Amino acid sequence: MQPGLGELFVAFAKMSLAGFGGVLVWARRAIVEQHRWMTADEFNETFALCHFLPGPNIVNLSFVFGSRFRGLAGGIAAFAGLVGPPMLIAIGLAALYTNYGEIEALRRTLAGVACAAVGLLLSVVLKMMMPLVRRRDIAGLLILAAVFIAIGWLRLPLPAVLLIAVPASLAVTLLVRRGQRS
């Protein structure tokens, strides 16, 4: 069932309001598990595409996802739902932080929220990796590990890593598919 414009706006607004520290966790949960608008593989492929577009990945995902179902209007509805409500909240919080940002209890609270955000991010990474594990996609897991090591440990620049990883990933995918057809 394809979502309507209002449904897209509300779904992405809910994701953005639940997603303090990152919306990806909530976006995947809503799109794949709750509404079943995409399979886990479709979500991963769409999110991977969004990495190559300029701008924040989750914003790209909202527009690509909305456009997939309702064209330009769907992309705008999903985008507006994603950025509108948090923008209004951020403006209000910025005004409060200007006056009360020096309070130590607030600083400790924000540090705790940051830890929770890291936990949520790790959770969604593991969920997104599960289709590769279930399919026993060794090549995909090796590319994942190589990119993680290159960016996470070796601190190589993302554009340079992507210039190598993307063609390598495409080549491996083509070779694996040719091998499966034989």
Three-state DSSP state, 76 = helix
Q: How far is Cα 163 from Cα 98, in angstroms, rounded to an integer? A: 42
146 & 84 share domain: no
pLDDT in tens, 127-142: 888 888 888 888 888 8
131 & 142 share domain: no
Task: Give me the pLDDT at residue 176, please.
Answer: 81
Closest CA to 171 of 130, 142, 132: 142
Three-state DSSP state, 12 = helix
Task: Give me the pLDDT at residue 161, please.
Answer: 93
State CA 5 to chain mean position distance. 21
pLDDT in tens, 70-102: 999 999 999 999 999 989 988 987 888 788 878
Task: Give me the pLDDT at residue 122, please.
Answer: 85
Task: Give me the pLDDT at residue 63, please.
Answer: 94
86 & 164 share domain: no
Per the structure, how many domains does the chain have?
Answer: 2
User: What residues have CB less than 8 Å from 97, skipping those under 6 apart?
Assistant: 106
147 & 129 share domain: no
113 & 156 share domain: no
Task: Give me the pLDDT at residue 178, please.
Answer: 83
Tokens 């289709």, located at residue: 131
100 & 180 share domain: no
Question: What is the value of pTM for the model shown?
Answer: 0.60
Three-state DSSP state, 1 = coil
126 & 146 share domain: no
